Amino acid sequence: MLSNRIALICLIGASRAFMLGYPLHASCKVEWTFGISCDQVKQRLVSQFEAWKTADNCASGGEKCLYTLKTNTDTMVAGTHETPVHHYIDDVSFTLTPSGSTCSVSGSSRSEIWYAVLDYGTNYCNMHNLITGSGLDKVSGYTEKTNDDVCTQYSSADCEKY
CA-closest candidate to residue 126, choices 35, 74, 52: 52
Q: What is the pLDDT of residue 4?
A: 55
At residue 109, the pLDDT reads 98
- What per-residue confidence (pLDDT) applies to 24? 79
Which helix (H) or strand (E) segment holds residue 114: the answer is none
**Domains annotated on the chain, with CATH:** 2-156 (3.30.530.20)
Contacts of residue 130, Cβ cutoff 8 Å, sequence gap at least 6: 45, 48, 49, 52, 67, 92
pLDDT per residue as tens, the chain (162 positions): 655 555 444 444 444 444 455 567 999 999 999 999 999 999 999 999 999 999 998 888 899 999 999 999 999 999 999 999 999 999 999 999 999 999 999 999 999 998 899 999 999 999 999 999 999 999 999 999 999 999 999 999 999 999
What is the per-residue pLDDT for 65? 97
